[in-house]
A and B are shown apart, each in its own frame.
Chain A
Amino acid sequence: MQPRQRRSLEFVLDNLVWFMLLAVLAIFSATIPNYFQPGIFANIIEQSSVLGVMSIGLALVIIAGHMDLSVESVAALSAMATGILFASSGIGMGITFTPGWLVVPASLLTGMAVGAVIGALNGYLVVKVKMNAFIVTLSSFIWVRGLVVAASGGRSAQNLADEVRFLAIQRFLGIPLTAYIAILCFAGFSFMMAKTRFGRHLLMIGGNEAAAFRAGIKVDKVLMIAFILSGTIAALAGWLLAIRTSGATANLGTGMLFNAFAAVVIGGVSLKGGVGALPGVYAGVLLLSSINTAINLMGLPAHYTQVIHGLLVLAAVLLDTLKQTIRKKLA
């Protein structure tokens, strides 16, 4: 194969998800009435914010060759912590500040601290105790959700302060500020992965952990930070979710793990580690939102959403396998 052909094929493989996104948007715009309008696209971006942020943390850990199944529950716990402390109805304690806007950093820091602690615990068990990341984070997935249910007693907290709600209500160019937070996160962490030593080390650990260790990279430290980041970012996603729903319920965010998982894999991150970039993950999230929106517009019963998501996860993993086969032939 000619080098140029190979380069173009590699370019397509690396950016496959963007091509898929464009194709899907084109097909939906052409075939579904009312799909092609700015409001719909703004809605797709808005819907992508919480899932997008959650996917970043998951992607970081998967790129490093590990797994974090706890992101959904961590997001729920962060949302519930925000709800219980700062919402004014239901089980909310309605803590207020003067000036009122202080509730924004206070709730954000509380949520993120909760996420960081659980991320650190996951990291400790995986890195230091050398337990399997899948099992450790599966356990966290279960017990953290249990904690959410226990802490709330199964009830909900409603009515967050207007100063926080502002972020979900205020729009700029038709898109709420929360979506810009997600886009900023993608920009920041994409930069970290592509341009900093930490990102490079994370990628190399995912590619060949033994080689990275032999080369003097502090593998344990880097992985520990990755798990803490994953927990903290998941908590940020939970905070955004709480703002969007103006509170928290015990089952908030249920099922998001698999959407995040699908987005990460569709976005071109290999489950084997060492392959993938965050811009692709964002495209994966946008792709999922586009499909959700299409289902809504077509008036299909919501139950089908779950069927389609399940099939999408399967398709994504299949695609990952297929891409690896093609890459092997290229090499």
Chain B
Amino acid sequence: MSEPLLVLDNITKNYGAVEALRGVSFSIAKGEVIALLGDNGAGKSTLVKIISGGLEASSGNMQFEGRDFRPKSPSEAKAAGIETVYQDLSLCTNVDVVANFFMGRELTKKIMGINVLDEATMEAHVAKAMASAGTRIPSLRTKVEHLSGGQRQAIELNRFVHWGGKLVLLDEPFAALGVEQTKRGLEMIRQVAAQGIGVVIITHIMQQAFQVADRMVVIRQGVVAGDVPTKQTNADAVIGMITGETLSGAGPVAGVGEEQSGSRSEI
């Protein structure tokens, strides 16, 4: 496994007397896809918000690319290379694909001293990015409201790849998508990871997690209840960790998978 991209060390988050996170530790490597699993209220979304700068941890440390990391706002996390895909897509459906792709980072050229949007160059960039990711969208000048959920998801994922994101956080990105669209979305995630970008995906659907993730991290009652390579576990074992039947059942399931060395268990 390559060097860690992001290391979480004993992250806690209190809301007054309520402990949402009670000490979460795990790490993400470059090009690794982690499925973050857990029941409702386990603290998954809180954790994602802490990484993406939406919330600040009460205690604990994060290291991003080997440096201490404590984002105070989404823009700070974004500047560091952490992009977040929210459940509700972050696209402006009233403008076209190119405008969305370059949202907030539009290219301009000077014409008679005025900075004018450089549509041709932007469209060329988007076409190139889409082609290299294997995404086909009939016209890049189509308003996003006319595109399917899968195409929208592809735009978002391509956007992160293009802008040199290093870590992508996906908070139930397929909640609204159909079977075929979800399949394409999962393929996109693998393509993104293949380019060396770390991916954390929150999902409730076990099948998706097994399809896409290299590793399963299960959060239960604010702590890591399991952290296992996908190849060394199965759905029943993971559900056991989520519901708490398997107490600290973090280890690999006997007989599943070959390699034993990569597995770790942490509480």
Binding site for B on A (CB under 8 A): 3, 195-197, 200-201, 203-204, 206-208, 210-212, 214-217, 274-275, 327, 330-331
Contact = CB atoms under 8 A, between A and B. Distances in A.
Nearest to A327: B145
Interface string B86-127: 101111111100010001111010000011110000000000
B183 interface: no
Interface string B1-36: 000000000000000000000000000000000000
Interface residues of B, number: 26
Contacts of A214: 74, 84, 86, 90
Contact of A210 (B90, B94, B117, B138): B90
A195 B99 contact: no
B146 interface: yes
Interface string B186-229: 00000000000000000000000000000000000000000000
A195 B116 contact: yes
A197 B115 contact: yes
A207 B146 contact: no
Given A211-B103, A212-B92, A195 B75 contact: no
Interface of B: 74-75, 78, 84, 86, 88-95, 99, 103-106, 108, 114-117, 138, 145-146
B104 A203 contact: no
A200 B94 contact: no
A207 B145 CA distance: 11
A195 B104 contact: no
Nearest to A274: B94
A291 B91 CA distance: 40
A3 to B, nearest CB: 8
B182 to A, nearest CB: 21
A139 B35 CA distance: 52
> In the complex, which of the residues B78, B106, B115 has the most CB atoms of chain A within 10 Å of its own CB atom?
B106
A206 B94 contact: yes
B94 A196 contact: no
Contact of A204 (B103, B115, B138, B145): B103
Given A215-B103, A216-B105, A331-B146, A208 B93 contact: yes
Contacts of A3: 138
Contacts of A207: 92-95
B80 to A, nearest CB: 13
Contacts of A211: 89-92, 103
23 contacts: A196-B114, A197-B108, A197-B117, A200-B117, A201-B104, A203-B94, A204-B103, A206-B94, A207-B92, A207-B94, A208-B90, A208-B91, A210-B90, A211-B90, A211-B91, A211-B92, A211-B103, A212-B103, A214-B90, A215-B103, A216-B105, A274-B94, A331-B146
